[in-house]
Structure 1
Amino acid sequence: MSDMVFRFPAPGPTPLLTDLEGWTKVAGDPSMKTWVQHTSLDGSVISGTWESTVGTWHTDYKFYEFVHLIAGRITITPDGGAAVDLVPGDGFVVEPGFSGTWVVSEPVKKHFCIKLR
């Protein structure tokens, strides 16, 4: 049964350094690091740690994502919608089909869980 519970280790030394699919820099020069630390047994869910420097991204979501914000500040604004300010300790969900901006005003570190199918 121990394989049914996974404890996240510290992020490893080799994150993915490329911008995620659907994420475009629109202000400043933000960069991201992504560590996929776990994949579900059936391959339908990934989870891990993500970091971003200050700047603004426009993003289009294909998948459901749950986030727990560990550090930093983000303002997420759906295209044509109201801004949502998020701070450390906040948990939130971004639904598939979301299109809008992530303004990272303080460097961000988050845990994520993404349902791929």
Structure 2
Amino acid sequence: MSISNIVDFSLPARESVEYMPKPEAILAGTPLQQVHAHFTSPCGQLAAGLWEGACGTWSVNFTESEYCEILEGVSVIRDANGTGKTVRAGDRFLIPAGFKGTWEVLEPCRKVFVSVEFKA
């Protein structure tokens, strides 16, 4: 390997995708989202990049463990019991695989993510 294998997030992503959550998952608003994939491992279990989300609320079911660092905006993550955690620019956290609840974007949000999916 050489220095050219280092992934620089300041450069354009290898792939960018714009999408909406599944219609049955949307609870409020029009939460249009974008993923800018900077890295995906050859096995497909590790991914890293930037995520952007518009205002809205949708159900989440994390099958992967995901480290997040909020760069811009404000969101509220709620568990299945309705207990919430507000996250904003500068916050860093990890959502473990198996987490179910909702994600609400209050102010357009942008985050760095690194996710690992363990496949049986």
Deviation at 1:35, TM superposition (A): 1.1
Residue equivalent to 1:17? 18
Partner of 1:60: 61
Q: Which runs of 5+ in 2 are unaligned?
A: none
Native 8 Å contact 1:72 1:109 kept in 2:
yes
Q: Is the 8 A contact 2:45 2:116 kept in 1?
A: yes
Q: CA-to-partner distance for each residue in 1:30-54, whole Å, 9 max, x for gaps?
A: 1001111112355431000110111
1:44 aligns with: 45
Return the offset for 1:27: 0.6
* Residue number in structure 2 paired with 1:112: 113
Which ranges in structure 1 are unaligned for 5 or more consecutive residues? none
- State the Cα RMSD in Å: 2.2
Deviations 1:7-40 (A, max 9, x none): 213444962112367x821111110011111123
Alpha-carbon contact 1:11-1:49 (below 8 Å) kept: no
Question: 2:99 maps to what in 1?
Answer: 98
- C-alpha distance in 1 between matches for 2:35 and 2:104: 18
Q: TM-score, normalised by structure 1?
A: 0.86
Equivalent residues, number: 116
Counterpart check, 1:7 vs 2:38: no
Specify the alignment match of 1:73 in structure 2.
74
SS in 1 for 2:59: strand
The answer to whether the 8 Å contact 1:78/1:100 transfers is yes
Sequence identity of aligned pairs in percent?
A: 27
Conservation of the 8 A alpha-carbon contact between 1:36 and 1:47: yes
TM-score, normalized by length of structure 2?
0.84
Structure 1 residue identity aligned to 2:52: E
